[in-house]
Structure 1
Amino acid sequence: MTPREYCKIFAAEARAIPDFGAVPEIIPLYLIYRPANTVPYATIEEDLVGPFERYCVKERDGSLAVQSSSEIAQKCCAFQHWLYQWTNGNILVTDMEGVGWRITNVRIATKLKGYQGLKESCFPALLDQFAAAHRCNRYCEILGLKSLESLQQPAKPKGSKSPSLGRKAPSAQSSPQLQKKGLASPQGTRKGAVSPKASRKSTEAGEAQLAPKHKEEGSC
């Protein structure tokens, strides 16, 4: 994500606050293709007309400085703070200058190599310098930004109860499987009962044994 895209998000949040007022805008940078030139690609941007001012910049000695106490400069500082907090201290806009609310020549400093696809880190010491030197203004307070000192302190891990600890183990009496085991099996009851066919066969066999005895008694 480019600084311009970050600035759009910042502007959307700031405009939602009634007392914030106007918001700085980073002007777009266009890439053009010129096939007839030795270097076929070039960048162009809008021509800004008016007095050019420097708001929040990086000096030649590498230090960060706020060149003005104007409303624009204060809001540029608030944008620096907002972006630093948004990216968890990984990106900082180091140069904001332009004409009025139109900002150009924006540069960035990064903390970590490879952050958001960046191949290498740029001026990581500037982020530590910003965290130590920045003083919140009224626009930082309006946005509800945290102090940079609190952002530097590591967050303490909070203990949480596992959901499984709140569950009660099922008792032996309430277990449906244990109750099922205590009952007599229907198959066992069926095996113990006498089959109707077997009782019928035993009755017929008893009658067959009595029949010859009656015949012998009659012949005598």
Structure 2
Amino acid sequence: MIDSVIILSGGMDSTVMLAHEIDSGRKVAALSFHYGSKHNDKELPLAAMSCKQFGIDHKQVALPFIDQLFSSSLLQSGTEIPDGTYDAENMQSTVVPFRNGILIAIAVGYAESIGASKVLLGSHSGDHHIYPDCRPAFNEAMNTAVLSGTDNAVQLEFPFARMDKREIGDLGRKLGIDFTTTWTCYKGGDIHCGTCSACVERKFALRKDKGLDPTIYHQ
């Protein structure tokens, strides 16, 4: 019996969440989505690798309509990813409209189908001011809708909602996560660019200033 379905991107947050759930003794399955982001092809093989390592079931779902219909620099059809700090003005172009709402809806349907009582998403406190579908009000409203729509069979959990990315990185280090098997860079190049806001945040989260970040960056 599966306890929870984890929305697993292959990034550091969801990978740490996966490891934490397994370390806590819970039985999980993972669901990943290819929605046409510039870095999907870098993330998803790493998500599959983590699931193989942990010996858990992993499904990948293609959602090509998001790249075809939605506007965002994060998508392959979008403009260039901006460089610089992780602030609202700089990062607004990377918002994928209602992405988490769509992913959650699919994951909840899958969870109900396999008898899992929870769906977990790794959004954290640093996401809230940039992405509307990561904010506490959104999470609470979606959970209310999920409970209603499944006759209370499934609920949402956001284990890292009150944590920042550095705290998630520290937790992952305690759990023995090899962060070279996670991907963050929004540009999706051969290696992490080191200059987009996602890379800047990753450097902070993994304490690059202390020599603890094993990631290879372009700069």
| TM-score, length of structure 2 as denominator length | 0.27
From the two aligned structures, give the one with the greater strand fraction.
1
